[in-house]
Amino acid sequence: MSINEEIKRRFVRLSKGQRKVAQFVMNNPSAVIGNGAAEVGRQANVSESTVIRFCYAMDLSGYVELQDEIRGYLMTQNDELSPQPTYSSSKGNTSSFGKVMQRDIQNIQDTIHLINDHMLQKSSKWMHEADNVYILGTRQAASIANWLSSTLTTLRPNVKQLRSESDDIVQQINSMGERTTLIVFSWDKHSNDIQTIVEIAKKKKARIIAITCSALSSFREYASALFTLGMKKQSALDVIPVLFSFLHALIEEMVSQDKAQYEKYQQSYEQVENNLLFLDAAREKQVF
């Protein structure tokens, strides 16, 4: 039985406040996935404790399990409602690389329904308005953090990739404040490596955008916005195309805040890069 069917079955036995939560959950599943219990309570006009009691009334262990149930329900709905894609070759004749790419397409389509659009727009606004944007990711996520940092550098100033082994890491953390946006990638079991940095950023009132592969991420209590892109059935390789598609969408949403400004900065950045290449070429000629 799906979570929606279970809610409807138990609805009459819920308290007045819990019924408000139940109605909100059924009408706004993406909001539940993308927000904590306190925010859902605020939007449903009840207390956070009422949201938690609703979870218990549904025989769930807590709010995280409610999010997992809703995520699974949306995945099922998407599988049932989405038309099967058509390809020029028959399924049996599709090449091995074609099957992989088809799976990537399906994973991206599934994820679209799990992302809170309002939260994505809010996150992109934080990135746009921030004086400084810091990117943090270690181990498996380091290369992703590097890509995002390099991409954002071509679009706006004051973008830095945080590296725990860097000599100026303390200085960078101390420079954080209310107009700082920190984007954190937590993609493996070694999140403790960067836990301290995230905790300090939270105390300094920085906006923290956490992108994880699990709703149980330890960063959920510090995040201003949490995006869970991984599913239990997906391998790490399955998540990578979804992640880059999501980051592309996040960047495009940021650029839409003031497209002319970003185009002007990008042109200026490219001009500086071209001048540096010219100088390098000139130096090489002098050497020879």
Report how far residue 70's alpha carbon sits from residue 29's, in angstroms, rounded to the nearest whole number. 7
For residue 207, the number of C-alpha atoms closer than 13 Å in the C-beta half-sphere is 19
Q: Is the dihedral of CA 109, 113, 115, 117 positive or negative?
A: positive
Tokens coding 220: 């959920």
Q: Which residue has the higher pLDDT, 14 or 71?
A: 14
pTM of this structure: 0.67
User: pLDDT tens for residues 74-100?
Assistant: 777 655 545 544 444 444 555 777 788
The strand pair at 180-186 and 225-228 is best described as unpaired
Range in 104-118, 143-157, 267-281 with the lowest mean pLDDT: 267-281
Kindly state the average pLDDT of the residues 178-206. Answer: 82
Asked if pLDDT for residue 230 goes beyond 80, the answer is: no
By the 8 A CB rule, do 155 and 127 touch? no
Highest mean pLDDT among 27-31, 139-143, 149-153, 214-218: 149-153
DSSP class of residue 29?
H
What residue type is 266 in one-letter code?
Answer: Q
The average pLDDT across 169-182 equals 88
3-class secondary structure, 209:
strand
First-to-last CA distance in the chain? 76
pLDDT digits over 16-30, tens only? 999 999 999 988 888
Q: How would residue 260 be classed by pLDDT, with cut points 50, 70 and 90? A: very high
Question: Residue 46 and residue 19: Cα distance in Å, rounded?
Answer: 10
User: Tens digit of pLDDT for each residue in 61-76?
Assistant: 888 788 888 888 877 7
Q: Are 44 and 26 in contact (CB under 8 A)?
A: no
pLDDT of residue 209: 94
